[in-house]
Amino acid sequence: MLKKSQNNVAPIIITAGEPSGIGMDIVQALATQQWPIPIVICCDKNLLRTRIKKLNNQIILLDYSSAVEQPAQQIGQLYVVHVPLVKDVSIGKPDKDNAQYVINMLSLANDGCLSGQFSALVTGPVHKGIINDAGIHFSGHTEFFAQQSNTDMVVMMLATEGLRVALVTTHLPIRELADAITKPHLSQIITILQRELQMKYGIKKPRIYVCGLNPHAGESGHMGREEIEIIEPTLHELREDGIDLIGPLPADTLFQEKYLQDADVVLAMYHDQGLPVLKYKGFGKAINITLGLPYIRTSVDHGTALDIAGTGMANSNSLFCALNEAIRMVQIQQHN
C-alpha cells in the first residue's frame, strides 16, 4: 500500500471528474507541495500525462498500487490510480461515451473508502447532463455516494470562511420542494447535521440557524403553512432533545452578521435558497461536504469550466480548500 503518513493514515483519493473539463488541469497543482497525508489521483493516467504536457508542467506520475508499499510522494510527483477512458477526449467537449468512465472513477473511490484503503475522498467537477445523456441516472455526487454506500440519508453542506450552509433538500425541481419537506425528513437531516458537526468538526454543541421555506418564514401562515405545521413543531421536538436550533427565520434577512456570528451552520430548505449567498461570499474558496456518509467526502464548489479547460487559466483554490478540509477532518477523527 502507498506509504502512510507518520500518523499511519491511509491516503486520500481525489477523482479528477469530467475528462474534458478543468478537473484534469487543477489536480496538477497538487504536485507543487507535499501533503501531511498521502494523496492519490483517480483518473486515466495517459489523459493526465497528455494534459500535463499541454500545460507545459513537469510532473512525474507514479503508479498507485494497494498491493505494495511505495515511497511517499514528493514535490513534482503525483500518485495515480488508473481508470481507463472509454473514448479519446477533446478538451472542452464532453462526450457521453465517457460517462461510464466518470462513474467508474467514483465507484472505485467509494469502494476504496468503504474498505479503508483510503481515509477520505475529494471530488473534482463532473458534468451531470452528459452522464444523464448517456442513459445513466445521476443527480449529483451527494446522491450517488449515498446510494453506493447504502446510506439512507446524507446532508449536503457547503462551506467557506465564516459561513457554512447545509441543505434540507438538494437537487430537486422547485415544484417538488414543499412535498419533500416532511417532519421525519427534517428531523433526520438536523440529527445528522448535529452529529457530524460534533464528530468531523469537533463542535461540542453546534448552533444551527434554520431558514423558513416560504417568504418571511410564512408570515404567520399568510404565505404558507409549512413553518407552522412542519418546521416549527420539528424544531421544538429536537430542542427538547438538546439540539441548539434558532428559527425558522426569513431567509432574506438571516444572512446578516448579527446572526451569522453566532451560527455554526445555516440550514436552508432548498438548494438555491442558501447556496447563492455562500457562493457569492466565497466562490473559488468554498467547498462541498457530504455529511452522513461512512467516510469523509469533500468537493470543489465549481463546475467543469469547459471554456477554459486546457488553457492554464483554471484556478485550483477550491481544490486546495477541499483537500485541506478533508485532511483536517481526518486528523480530528484520529484524535477522537
Quick: pLDDT tens for 194-240.
999 999 998 999 999 999 999 999 899 999 999 999 999 999 999 99
Report the C-alpha gap between 196 and 153 in whole angstroms: 13
**Residue whose entry in the numeric block shows the C-alpha cell 448579527:** 258
Homologous superfamily of 153-291: Isopropylmalate Dehydrogenase (3.40.718.10)
In this prediction, the residues of the chain whose per-residue pLDDT falls under 70 are 1-7, 67-70, 336
Q: In angstroms, what CA-CA distances link 158 with 146, 166, 179, 260?
A: 17, 6, 24, 15
Q: In angstroms, what CA-CA distances link 206 with 45, 147, 192, 302?
A: 42, 27, 12, 27
Report the C-alpha gap between 61 and 178 in whole angstroms: 49
| Nearest partner of 142 among 175, 178, 110, judged by Cα | 110
Give every CB contact of residue 222 below 8 A, 6+ residues apart in sequence. Answer: none
Homologous superfamily of 1-151+293-336: Isopropylmalate Dehydrogenase (3.40.718.10)
pLDDT tens profile 124-154: 999 999 999 999 999 889 899 999 999 999 9
Q: In angstroms, what CA-CA distances link 274 with 6, 210, 255?
A: 39, 11, 9
Report the C-alpha gap between 153 and 182 in whole angstroms: 14
The domain locations on the chain are: 1-151+293-336, 153-291
pTM: 0.89
In this chain, the answer to whether the domains covering 1-151+293-336 and 153-291 adopt an identical fold is yes
